[in-house]
Structure 1
Amino acid sequence: MRAEAWRRWALASSVVCVAGWGDPASAAQPRLSFDIPSKPLKAALVDLAVQAGASISTQAAAGCAPTSQPVRGRFTLQDGLARMLAGTGCGYRMIDASAVEIVRLPPASPVTRTVAREEPHSSAALDELVVVATRRPTLADRLAYAVSAVESSAIAGQGLRDANDLAYAVPAMTVTNLGPGRDKIMLRGLSDGPLTGRTQAMVGLYLDDTRLTYNAPDPDLLLVDMAQVEVLRGPQGALYGSGSLGGVLHLVTEPPAPDRFEAWIAGDVGATQGGDGSNGLSAMVNLPIFRGRGAVRAVVYRDQQGGYIDDAGLDLKTVNRALRSGGRLNVKVGLGGGWTLTGGGAAQFINSDDTQYALTTEPPYNRRNRVREPHDNDFAEAHLNLKGEIGGIQARWTISAVDHDITSRYDASSAPPIALAPGPAAYDDDDRTHSLVTEGSLASPEDARVQWLVGAFVARTHQDIDLALTRLADAPVRALAERRRDTLDEAALFGETTLPFGRSFSATLGGRLFKSKTRVTSHTTAFGGTLTSFAGALESSGFAPKLVLSYTLSSNALIYVQATEGYRAGGFNTTGPPGQVFSPNNEAEPRRRYDGDELWSLEAGGKVSLLDGRLRLRAAAFQARWKDIQSDQLSPSGLPFTANIGDGRNLGLEVEGSYRVAGLQLSANLLFNAPELEKANPAFPVRKDVSLAGVPHRAGGVTAHYERPLGSDMTLEFDGRYAYVGHSHLTFDAATAPLMGGYATGRLAVGLAAQRWRTTLALDNPTNARGDTFAYGNPFSLRSTDQVTPLRPRTLSLSVRVAY
């Protein structure tokens, strides 16, 4: 669908510190353009890393002089570092051509830098990732938040292709598994149900500075050429506004590098037991422009996933093949005076031949339909970003546009929402969303004692929805249709201030003052005649506060408590068969209008770095109180509506840890939580166990990476992943609440890597587990059939990447 799309777009500058070892750069370094005034040393090093496209560890900088020397002009990376570090008592060590470790110099030594080769030793500082999801670059270990950052090397080593894979490596993350481009993301056991309808998403999705969705499924962007992926757990209403009750998923792309030409091409092939083959091809090129003052970075990819579900009713094999293709083009230009202008965009097109659920009454990986169920998810975005300093104050302005088109077909033959003559029938859902968002912010100088951030946000979103039930036998007849348009206007002022009290204690106060207006029009017809028309509007406003108290126990440990709020606006129900009544009050469901919901979260956590940084531990205990939960539900006809199902809560504990020694890296995560629906809406028939739907009470995983040098220029790599997902119920509805989950899966991989190439052989789901990841596929047969979405069977793949 929409096979031609173009956008210009921007890339937010970011820094990723990559763990690894290699020989110091032997080739002459290119000259780069720098414009960095004298400022706090750590902040200056972050700026230098961004402008050089390099990775710089900063742990040792805590023992250096607090202020850097200015660096302005064209220098090599080494010369720029030498100028910045002069007189600070610190030097640096080149890990490789674009990775640097800051080191303390002996007190008696007059030398201000060192580039001599050192024997490899554990440098856990390189594991300190810089997180930008908090609106300003900050080391992850210094944040008083529950945040996980997965760097590019871990994305590649663990074979993390998209958000569904990411859930196996990140704590407290759950993703439904209806199929590529149909999934919904949930964080920290907070679920409004697994169905995607009119409610706004639970998790805010961002590509650099661009908000990707409002109430659509995850666009399922392929994680190609990503610097890192950040997951911020817990409600983020103060900074991100509506639609971030569960948290934020932030995709950070690799920035254009103005100092060098880069290019790579990668391909992979795969074979799935009992299914079709898979293949993929991707490429990247980075070109400096304007004599090193800017760069263009372009990425293209095509990914074909073979099917493994058979449809006996249609006599078809491996029906659920899916093709995902797309690209990005990012342009970054230095304007001088510390200002940069970035622009560009991304587009991706997912074409799925069919859904990927099966029936328990059929043999494994089989179902019996009368109509195929294809799905398209086409996404395009563009943005422009201006960033710089005004008298030391950090300024940023972004404008972005998003175009998201989703079409789905369901087999409605067995239970159509209105009476039809026997025969095949299809229900089609076409959602087209267009949004324009602009946001600006000012932040305090990085050396200010009191840190602050203020900003403004304005957005307009149009969503056009076309629904149609068609009888396909003989001459096709459109039996039921709805055309609906939603227009949403949003505006907000937001900010936060961090006040230090002494050397160790700080308090962060923040909030978001917001206002939104929703207008809805709907026209429904049956067999070509007008059935109903509706027009309505509603406004909402309020303030979402935030409070964080943080105490630094030492340079390697901190503890914190925080209280935050998330919220979503209300809306209208309009979809129904002939004779559908929408109650104007709270007496029955479905109601014409559903209310907004709000969630308060109280969290206490801590982070510690031990054994010279080789061991890192993070833990958080949380309690969430959720009022008037919005949830997309299915009426007896199978058509969707939204209800306020009641009040809920979740009490839980999440733990995350990592350990590095020599060439071995281990990480693990655990989630224990008890989501409950405490006060149910009397008009809604909930289950007796009243647990929040779609999220397990227990989940966890372990990953491992091991490297062994083979000679001077080759490395043998081993990767492993194990993940367990506990049991959960599909929905809140007592009539459609099958049990799902309770499965384990994993991945084993071995690879060879050299300076310019890498090849990996991987085995996914090595035990060929058939766990039910998602007990759903078709809304019209859900009450009459037991549906399951099994794990992809055992899959062997080979990938090769060559750099130029």
Structure 2
Amino acid sequence: MDKKLLVRACLNTAALIIPVAAQAAEVDAGATGEAIVVTALKRETRLQDTAAAITAIGGDELRSANIDNINDLQRTTPGSVVTDAGPGQRRISLRGIRSAGDAQVGIYYDETPVAGPPGTTSDPGGSQSDVKLFDVERVEVLRGPQGTLYGAGAMGGALRIILKKPDLERFGGVFDISGTTTSHGGEGYQLNAAINLPIVRDRLGVRIVGFRRFDPGWIDNPHLNLKGINKEDTDGGRILLRFKPIDDLTIDASASYQDMKSSPSIWSPSVGKWQSANRTVLPLRDRNRIYSLTARGEVGFATLTATTSYQDRDLLVTRDPTYLWQSLGGARFTPGLYYQPQDVKDWTNEVRLQSSGNDPLQWTIGGFYEDRKAKVLSEGHQVDPATGKDFATPTVLLRRNVGDRLKQKAVFGELSYTVFDRLTFTGGLRYYDYDKLVTGDTSIGFPLLRTPVSPYREFRSSNNGWLYKGNVSFKVNDNLLVYGQAASGYRPGGVNQVLGLAAALPYLPDKLWTYEGGVKLSLADGRLLLNLTGYRTDWTNLQVNLDSGSFLYLGNAGAARIKGAEAEIVLNPAQGFNLSANLNLLSAKLTEDMLTAGTVPSATTGRAGDRIPNIPEGSFTVSGQYEWSVAGPLKGLLRADFSHVGKSYSDFRPNPARPTNYRRIGDYQLVNARIGVRSDRWGAYLFANNLFNKVARTSSGNVLGGSIEAITTVPPRTIGINLTGNY
């Protein structure tokens, strides 16, 4: 398909439609707030009646705000930070909970947790995959520990993508097509479509979704004379089946597939704007398959839910060690390539029984089991200096194999009781038990890196314990809810298997407690919503990167305290007119020094009082949307989003031994805008992301083994045309 022709066709079509939005029209009077229903507590509750810090974004809001992936959710969620180094290379944090190791924010497709491979540095939290938010019913972001209901990996919160399910009564379909042009990049497009097919009315239906996306690369490599090296090419889709053999039983099955091809979105300002310092071509590929089966049955006094899911994800990660090898005296081996195909297979199962009805006593009990297997092949290659590409027959200088297997079992329960229809007490417990096996061998050693050949070895670790939650809420009246909560979270420990260590070193689980209080206020028949939350988190045994003198590895060091406040405001002064804002202020600092025995003092510099890197002290977003009648069923839409991200730093403190490690990031403002017209069946919009083309730094580091700065940023200004249909 000719990408330029597709983009021009979209632009020409919209050029005929968009001017209609300039026509004047009268605004309909009156508006009421819509009651948003969420399932964050694994049962349906109204958002404003749920005593928890939850951001919920419906499908219509996702489209209006042009929210396409996880990165865009930062604009809607207080305290959300996403560092994007390209497809399959995202790190997500909430409320300042950010460090190396397993993910701190759990990502869920409906009931299915999505896992990342641990790589060679036991850091799956830096390999969280992208999620395309097309044909989604809503997104729920749960802030704070979700240990009792969601377990490990949700110590900072959980992100739930609720997919649209088959409609068993009505045939229908939707499409969403966009053509874009990106500054310093080029033309791109998105093609999204879904069709709903009721096979047996009220009993059996299927929903088929497909999408394709091409984003032009906006980073060049002048040394290799390559343009747009970080372009993204993604294909994917899913099939969802819903079967209701009887009225009280619903069975949902789904199969999802997504295949992304790209290269890291990292560039070096010292080389030039949007210019990479790499000497090697770095392909990146992320293929993800997810299969799930969920059954929900009404058994009179309760609802029984059983779910099983299987994820099979392949990720190819490459890095350029040229500067490192040169610094060690190995220029004859350069340019070089770290070639690391990785695979993770994750089988998860959960069964839970929940009370039905609206009795004062509500309860949930359940069990969980996970079997996750990952493997990594890590090779060092010498590549063609003329092209930066691997030779047809690679010159392998180093070869290692790493395996990682995690088995987790848990039982959990929550109990709540409401007194006088106003005061509710909730308690939750989760008992977890896990075993972890790490294996590895080095079949080809590389003396330059002090890595000898080593035989296959196995290292085991295990742990068990309890997670807790206590919540008290008081419904002052129908419009005001106040609550207080204390909850704990954890991540599993394990054993390192990295280069440069004489033996594998263990690291312990890290744990935290969060104490929070909140107010949820609804006024003027739902026209005004105000949610306020204050919290404090005590985090112990932080899993952090430690330095052996040659390589980083995971260890436990120090403790931290995070204090913050959040606000969410939604105002609907008139029908069609919507204003919203969210604000986050926090202080995330170490309360203990991070130095431990065996580490290098000049490299591990965290001290009590230091700010946690990459976490801004404040951020906010203000959005406004106005929709008005144009003619008959035709309506115009105008929307703008302004967001500010405060400053943060790339390390704990300035370090005389490594002065280039401490750099300022964040401290930027972004504006997105959207204008268009729509009817009940179709819409046409013009949009702009990063309207003023800001260079917004989201992370900073160095090229591997060198002092050249390497940063990630928000993509440059992207302007596009979006056409939608609903039939």
User: Normalising by structure 2, what TM-score?
Assistant: 0.89
Query: In structure 2, what is the equivalent of residue 559 of structure 1?
Result: 482
In structure 2, give the amino acid aligned to 1:432: D
Q: Are 1:745 and 2:643 matched, yes or no? A: no
Query: In structure 2, what is the equivalent of residue 642 of structure 1?
Result: 554
Query: In structure 1, what is the equivalent of residue 595 of structure 2?
Result: 682
Q: Are 1:165 and 2:72 matched, yes or no? A: yes
In structure 2, give the amino acid aligned to 1:210: T
Q: Are 1:466 and 2:466 matched, yes or no? A: no
Query: In structure 2, what is the equivalent of residue 106 of structure 1?
Result: none
Q: Which of these residues, 394, 410, 430, is aligned with residue 492 of structure 1?
A: 410
2:212 is paired with a residue of what secondary structure? strand
Give how far 1:532 is off: 5.1
Write the distance in 2 (CA, Å) between the matches of 1:612 and 1:265.
34
Q: Which of these residues, 688, 691, 694, is aligned with residue 611 of structure 2?
A: 691
Q: 1:53-75 CA deviation, whole Å, 9 max, x = no partner? A: xxxxxxxxxxxxxxxxxxxxxxx
In structure 1, give the amino acid aligned to 2:372: T
Write the distance in 2 (CA, Å) between the matches of 1:693 and 1:569.
22
Query: In structure 1, what is the equivalent of residue 711 of structure 2?
Result: 788
Alignment of 1:76-91 (within 5 A): none
1:674 is paired with a residue of what secondary structure? strand
Query: In structure 2, what is the equivalent of residue 25 of structure 1?
Result: none
Give how far 1:606 is off: 0.8
Q: Which of these residues, 153, 175, 178, is aligned with residue 243 of structure 1?
A: 153
Give how far 1:448 is off: 2.1
Q: Are 1:369 and 2:278 matched, yes or no? A: yes
Write the distance in 2 (CA, Å) between the matches of 1:597 and 1:803.
47
Q: Which of these residues, 124, 134, 138, is aligned with residue 228 of structure 1?
A: 138
Q: Are 1:768 and 2:693 matched, yes or no? A: yes
Q: Report if the CA contact (8 A) 1:557-1:608 is conserved.
A: yes
Alignment of 1:293-308 (within 5 A): 293-308=203-218
% of aligned pairs identical?
A: 27
Query: In structure 2, what is the equivalent of residue 314 of structure 1?
Result: 224
Q: Are 1:148 and 2:148 matched, yes or no? A: no
Q: Report if the CA contact (8 A) 1:332-1:342 is conserved.
A: yes
Query: In structure 1, what is the equivalent of residue 544 of structure 2?
Result: 631
Alignment of 1:106-121 (within 5 A): 121=30
Give how far 1:553 is off: 0.8
Give how far 1:634 is off: 6.3
Query: In structure 2, what is the equivalent of residue 425 of structure 1?
Result: 336
Q: Are 1:187 and 2:79 matched, yes or no? A: no
Write the distance in 2 (CA, Å) between the matches of 1:233 and 1:624.
12
Give how far 1:635 is off: 5.6
Relative to structure 2, which stretch is displaced further, 420-429 or 394-403? 420-429
Q: Which 5+ residue runs of structure 1 have no aligned equivalent?
A: 1-118, 194-198, 583-590
Query: In structure 2, what is the equivalent of residue 706 of structure 1?
Result: 626
| Distance change >3 Å, CA 802–CA 391, structure 1 → 2 | closer
| Distance change >3 Å, CA 682–CA 156, structure 1 → 2 | same
Q: Report if the CA contact (8 A) 2:191-2:211 is conserved.
A: yes
| Distance change >3 Å, CA 285–CA 729, structure 1 → 2 | same
Query: In structure 1, what is the equivalent of residue 365 of structure 2?
Result: 454
Q: Are 1:608 and 2:521 matched, yes or no? A: yes
Q: Are 1:378 and 2:293 matched, yes or no? A: no
Q: 1:572-628 CA deviation, whole Å, 9 max, x = no partner? A: 111114xx335xxxxxxxx71111110100001110001221000001100000000
1:440 is paired with a residue of what secondary structure? strand
Query: In structure 2, what is the equivalent of residue 52 of structure 1?
Result: none
Query: In structure 2, what is the equivalent of residue 282 of structure 1?
Result: 192
| Distance change >3 Å, CA 748–CA 249, structure 1 → 2 | same
In structure 2, give the amino acid aligned to 1:657: I
Give how far 1:756 is off: 1.5
Query: In structure 1, what is the equivalent of residue 84 of structure 2?
Result: 177
Q: 1:356-408 CA deviation, whole Å, 9 max, x = no partner? A: 22212122111232101221111111111110111231110001101111111
In structure 1, give the amino acid aligned to 2:692: T
Write the distance in 2 (CA, Å) between the matches of 1:687 and 1:767.
36
Write the distance in 1 (CA, Å) between the matches of 2:546 and 2:242.
45
2:75 is paired with a residue of what secondary structure? coil
Q: Are 1:519 and 2:432 matched, yes or no? A: no
Write the distance in 1 (CA, Å) between the matches of 2:278 and 2:102.
31
Write the distance in 2 (CA, Å) between the matches of 1:415 and 1:569.
32
Write the distance in 2 (CA, Å) between the matches of 1:322 and 1:387.
38
Q: CA RMSD in A?
A: 1.8
Write the distance in 2 (CA, Å) between the matches of 1:729 and 1:345.
41
Q: Report if the CA contact (8 A) 1:609-1:615 is conserved.
A: yes
Query: In structure 2, what is the equivalent of residue 394 of structure 1?
Result: 303
Q: 1:666-699 CA deviation, whole Å, 9 max, x = no partner? A: 1101110000111123235224662112211111
Query: In structure 1, what is the equivalent of residue 319 of structure 2?
Result: 410
Write the distance in 2 (CA, Å) between the matches of 1:350 and 1:431.
15
Q: Report if the CA contact (8 A) 1:757-1:803 is conserved.
A: yes
Q: Are 1:439 and 2:359 matched, yes or no? A: no
Q: Which of these residues, 662, 669, 680, is aligned with residue 582 of structure 2?
A: 669
Relative to structure 2, which stretch is displaced further, 338-347 or 359-368? 359-368
Give how far 1:328 is off: 1.1
Query: In structure 2, what is the equivalent of residue 658 of structure 1?
Result: 570
Give how far 1:645 is off: 2.6
Give how far 1:712 is off: 1.8
1:775 is paired with a residue of what secondary structure? strand
Write the distance in 1 (CA, Å) between the matches of 2:323 and 2:217.
24
Relative to structure 2, which stretch is displaced further, 527-536 or 134-143? 527-536
Which of structures 1 and 2 has the larger relative contact order (alpha carbons within 8 angstroms, sep 6+)? 2
Query: In structure 2, what is the equivalent of residue 209 of structure 1?
Result: 111
Write the distance in 1 (CA, Å) between the matches of 2:675 and 2:494.
51
User: Normalising by structure 1, what TM-score?
Assistant: 0.80
Write the distance in 1 (CA, Å) between the matches of 2:403 and 2:475.
51
Q: Report if the CA contact (8 A) 1:169-1:702 is conserved.
A: no
1:190 is paired with a residue of what secondary structure? coil
Q: Report if the CA contact (8 A) 2:366-2:412 is conserved.
A: yes
Query: In structure 1, what is the equivalent of residue 249 of structure 2?
Result: 339
Q: Report if the CA contact (8 A) 2:360-2:419 is conserved.
A: no
In structure 1, give the amino acid aligned to 2:239: L
Q: Report if the CA contact (8 A) 2:594-2:606 is conserved.
A: no
Query: In structure 2, what is the equivalent of residue 70 of structure 1?
Result: none
Q: Which 5+ residue runs of structure 2 have no aligned equivalent?
A: 1-27, 117-123, 386-390, 447-451
Q: Report if the CA contact (8 A) 1:777-1:789 is conserved.
A: no
Give how far 1:480 is off: 2.0
Q: 1:329-367 CA deviation, whole Å, 9 max, x = no partner? A: 101011214111111121111100x22222121221112
Q: 1:649-677 CA deviation, whole Å, 9 max, x = no partner? A: 10110111100122111110111000011
Q: Report if the CA contact (8 A) 2:266-2:276 is conserved.
A: yes
Write the distance in 2 (CA, Å) between the matches of 1:634 and 1:715.
59
Q: Report if the CA contact (8 A) 2:702-2:709 is conserved.
A: no
Write the distance in 1 (CA, Å) between the matches of 2:537 and 2:521.
25
Q: Report if the CA contact (8 A) 1:534-1:574 is conserved.
A: no
Q: Are 1:596 and 2:596 matched, yes or no? A: no
Query: In structure 2, what is the equivalent of residue 90 of structure 1?
Result: none
Write the distance in 2 (CA, Å) between the matches of 1:276 and 1:561.
50
Write the distance in 2 (CA, Å) between the matches of 1:145 and 1:266.
33
| Distance change >3 Å, CA 379–CA 776, structure 1 → 2 | farther
In structure 1, give the amino acid aligned to 2:277: R
Give how far 1:633 is off: 5.4
Q: Which of these residues, 401, 419, 435, is aligned with residue 501 of structure 1?
A: 419
Q: 1:494-544 CA deviation, whole Å, 9 max, x = no partner? A: 010001222321110111011000011111234487235431111110110
Write the distance in 2 (CA, Å) between the matches of 1:408 and 1:790.
20
In structure 2, give the amino acid aligned to 1:618: N
In structure 2, give the amino acid aligned to 1:774: S
2:713 is paired with a residue of what secondary structure? coil
In structure 2, give the amino acid aligned to 1:649: R
Give how far 1:233 is off: 0.3
Give how far 1:739 is off: 1.9
User: How many aligned positions are there?
Assistant: 665
| Distance change >3 Å, CA 635–CA 725, structure 1 → 2 | farther
Write the distance in 2 (CA, Å) between the matches of 1:419 and 1:448.
73
